[in-house]
A and B are shown apart, each in its own frame.
Chain A
């Protein structure tokens, strides 16, 4: 039984790794149409990609849109979570209900609602997508903020700081925020990586008028396999870096609360 399950674990690993390795290999191969393994290796595709202003601009748009949405949700949603968790715990079940709803409704349903409602208004569609992005990272932001508030016993920390003469704002800025910062940082990175990979909303609601990396990749899918694999390779590397940073920060934060 034990051996069988370990074989299963290895098979899962192989299944998850294979598409990644194949794409990476394709991104660095010269000719690969008839043979099983590529005929040679080259950096040409990656270089071409980064010399393509269309890609660089698309990358910039993706970073701007996802980063902007995460920033806005930290500015507007995190304070709301703080207030509810610390001072109005009776509201928390309503808040959790909205978190579940946001998590449950997929982009394809939301995009219909967005198009129906906002196509009749003067609000630019890209701002409508930005607004939905800010809301759609709610589950990750909520989970991260609430867990770190619980871990550091936020309410007691605030009360203690206020008892020692700090104003509410001072206590928040100098005591509470640094204590929950690692958890918040990880939640922000996670949200960013989820939004960076978002395709449904941006493609259906805005389309090629605001070309993100995902939309650029879609357009290269049928025209150039090598360039497409170079894009996917860059995407995987970026996601890998983000995941590793998240893992390291989480581990450090754990060590801090233990000490």
Chain B
């Protein structure tokens, strides 16, 4: 009787398991297999092609640089901004968080368009600067233009992730450190930041992955012209004339591997800091 009930409860898991299998695991495994195969069977040629093409490697380089820089800038700026938030009362902080959340869904195609309105060829700022006679020789449709957009969609996510980490720092610790003669700077250097570090490292990884996988903004802005790993995948899988789905699969696998390595690195770093902290 009890066994039967347990079984009937387990039945509830079946639809979930099926969905997960057919709409997540199987497509990914199939992609992995297809990246290693051609009409004759097993092959490494797609990886050879991807890794020996300077064009594809350049795409990876651009993606990596864009992801690391945008994650770093968003992290540093948000660390300061969220620190400033701690000076306000809780209702004010909550309101600020809601405002930040309002922009968290503002990404992809709509965001790219908003930046075109601001900084595009006949954008608000572009025209304003022109009328002052300034020429910044800045192009939205370039690496630095994309960086501005990437920083934009990283910011609300960073704030959302850092806010709870900060609230882990308790006022008593600051008071205790101050009583023992530590300056505010010394407190943050010796106590605050080491405690925050695992959270910061984890946040950085999420931001890095978030930018590495981003596709829509760059696509909306430059079509398939700007060379990013995600854009290469998109144009190789959807190209009507030159679709090379096996090559796209290989690049997608490489992108996935980079993201997994990033996650493992940060995991290792977090474990190491925890160990170092407990040794002190």
Q: Is the CB of B24 within 8 A of A132?
A: yes
A-B contact pairs, 23 of them (CB 8 A): A2-B84, A16-B152, A20-B106, A22-B117, A22-B118, A22-B124, A33-B122, A36-B127, A76-B15, A106-B215, A108-B215, A111-B234, A112-B233, A113-B27, A113-B30, A134-B19, A135-B23, A197-B108, A199-B215, A200-B215, A221-B112, A232-B113, A251-B94
A interface residues, how many (CB within 8 angstroms): 81
Query: Across the interface, do B31 and A84 meet the contact criterion of CB distance under 8 Å?
Result: no
- Asked if A166 CB lies within 8 Å of chain B CBs, one says no
- Assess the A87–B9 pair: CB atoms within 8 A: yes
Known A-B contacts A109-B252, A112-B237, A197-B107; the reply to A229 vs B30 at CB < 8 A is no
- Residues of chain A lying within 8 A (CB to CB) of residue B27: 110, 113-114, 116-118, 132
Given contacts A112-B233, A113-B28, contact A80 B109 (CB under 8 A): no
Q: Which 9 A-B pairs have the closest CB atoms?
A: A106-B213, A113-B27, A19-B114, A131-B23, A80-B16, A5-B84, A113-B31, A9-B84, A76-B15
Please measure, in the bound complex, the distance between the C-alpha atom of A201 and the C-alpha atom of B34, giving whole angstroms. 19
* A window 162-178: CB within 8 A of B: none
Residues of B within 8 A of A (CB-CB), count = 81
Which one, A44-52, A57-65, A149-157, A234-242, is touching chain B? A234-242
Q: How far is the CA of A228 from the CA of B248 in the complex (A)?
A: 31
Q: Are B24 and A135 in contact (CB under 8 A)?
A: yes
A218–B113 Cα distance when bound, in Å, is: 9
Q: Is B209 an interface residue (CB 8 A)?
A: yes
Q: Per a CB cutoff under 8 Å, which of A9, A132, A231 touches B81? A: A9
Closest Cβ neighbor of A123 among chain B residues: B22
Q: Which residues of A contact B260 (CB under 8 A)?
A: 104
Using CB atoms and an 8 Å cutoff, list the residues of chain A in contact with chain B.
1-2, 4-6, 8-9, 11-13, 15-16, 18-20, 22-23, 26, 33-36, 76-77, 79-80, 82-84, 87, 98, 101-102, 104-118, 128, 131-132, 134-135, 193-194, 196-197, 199-200, 203-204, 207, 214, 217-218, 221, 225, 228-229, 231-232, 235-236, 239-240, 242-244, 246-247, 251
Q: Mark B249-273, 1 if CB is under 8 A from A, else 0.
A: 1001001100110010000000000
**Given that A76-B15, A76-B16, A113-B30 are known contacts, is A4 also in contact with B108, CB under 8 Å in the complex?**
no
Other A-B contacts than A12-B78, A76-B15, A197-B110, 12 sampled, CB-CB below 8 A, are A5-B83, A9-B96, A20-B106, A104-B209, A111-B234, A112-B252, A114-B27, A131-B19, A204-B237, A235-B110, A239-B102, A244-B98
Residue of A nearest to B243 (CB): A115
Given contacts A22-B117, A106-B214, A116-B249, are A247 and B101 in contact (CB under 8 A)? yes
Across-interface contacts of A239 in B (CB, < 8 A)? 102, 105-106
B245 and A116 form a contact (CB under 8 A): yes
Bound-state Cα–Cα, A203 to B217, Å = 13
CB pair A23–B113 under 8 Å, yes or no, is yes
A interface SS class: helix
B128 to chain A, nearest CB (A): 5
Complex CA–CA separation, A102 to B213 (angstroms): 13
Query: Residue of A at shortest CB range from B127?
Result: A36
* Residue with the greatest number of chain A CB neighbours at <10 A, chosen from B23, B108, B256: B23
